[in-house]
Structure 1
Amino acid sequence: MKEGKKSEEFYAQLKEQLADTSSWPAKYLYKFIVPSNGTQIKGIEDIFDDTGAVINTKESSKGTYTSVSILVKLKDPDAVIEKYKEVGAIEGVISL
């Protein structure tokens, strides 16, 4: 439960920063790290399906992890946070 509260505080701060630093709608760049051998990349791609997002992946030098960068135009800070929460539900994903 403590972790959930911490997450809500983080998202509230992020929302405030996004509102102060960007004019909305705006493009936002997400970056995630996932294990290369899992299904996490497909899960992330599904979340951003039909959003017009540009998704780039790059495997680490040893092939253990893959970085996933997503550039997408969103309507407001709430939409940014909503996507973070959706991706956060996928096990093994690290948000940068």
Structure 2
Amino acid sequence: MAEKNSDAFYSKLKDQLTATSSWPSNYLYKFIVLSDQEKIKAIHKIFDNMGAVIESKKSKKGKYTSVSITVNLKNPDEVIAKYKEVGAIEGVISL
């Protein structure tokens, strides 16, 4: 069931990205993750060698880290592919 919902979500996202942006374009990702260095490194690695600008900021109590990534991508399919890669990391919330 969850797989079907994510397919619908990505299909809608692709339609919105196609309608609202001209490609290639900069895209801003925002993720929330427990402040676990390994998980944060894993997110960084997904965007390695892409010229991405990555900013990390810990929550007030330090339990969570928000990771904002701005990267230039060719098309909506690339945006969705990166969401799926990051989504494979356990405990990451995509905003």
Identity of aligned residues (%): 65
Gaps of 5+ in 1: none
Paired letter, 2:46: I
Distance in 2, matches of 1:39 and 1:18, equals 31
Shift of 1:38: 4.6
Q: Which residue of 2 aligns with 1:62?
A: 61
Q: Which residue of 1 aligns with 2:22?
A: 23
* Post-superposition CA distance 1:48-77 (Å, at most 9, x none): 001100000000010000000000000000
TM-score (norm. length: structure 2): 0.98
TM-score (norm. length: structure 1): 0.97
Q: Which residue of 1 aligns with 2:4?
A: 5
Q: Which residue of 1 aligns with 2:32?
A: 33
Gaps of 5+ in 2: none
Runs of 4+ with deviation above 3 angstroms: none
| Equivalent pairs, count | 95
